[in-house]
Amino acid sequence: GAFSVSASTVAVARRRGRTVKYLATPAVRAVARSYFACAEAPGAELEDSGNSEATMGSHWEKRNFFSELMTGSTSAAFTEVLSEFTLALLDDTGWYQVTPPSPDRAPFKFGRGLGCAFLDTDCRAAA
């Protein structure tokens, strides 16, 4: 059935001409702002389309988190990475004690430091 979430957990904003939902827990929001170098980032964008309604609103947005393990799809051509976004979410739940990842793990790099324009520009407009 349907459920509602707290505004402190999910933020809603207009981006790229449509309504977008963001996971906006404190650690996730801090990671998003630092990682993307965008002080206005409301959090980490959640999937709003794709091949399955099962991924909508419960996985990271593929356009922003391409090879992250918690996107709604995978690709054999790329190594899926557990990023600081998912670790921040696990930490924010209070159910897990997250230790910093070891330096030898594959780092998540997609979109790092690209600023607010990366988050706010439609992929088709940037092509």
Which residues contribute to the annotated binding site? 59
Sequence-distant (≥ 6) Cβ neighbours of residue 23 within 8 angstroms: 9, 10, 43, 44, 46, 89
Scanning the structure block, which residue is given the tokens 């981006």?
15
Annotated binding site for Zn(2+): 59
H or E element at residue 75: none
CA 34 to chain centre: 13
Distance CA 127, CA 110 (A): 17
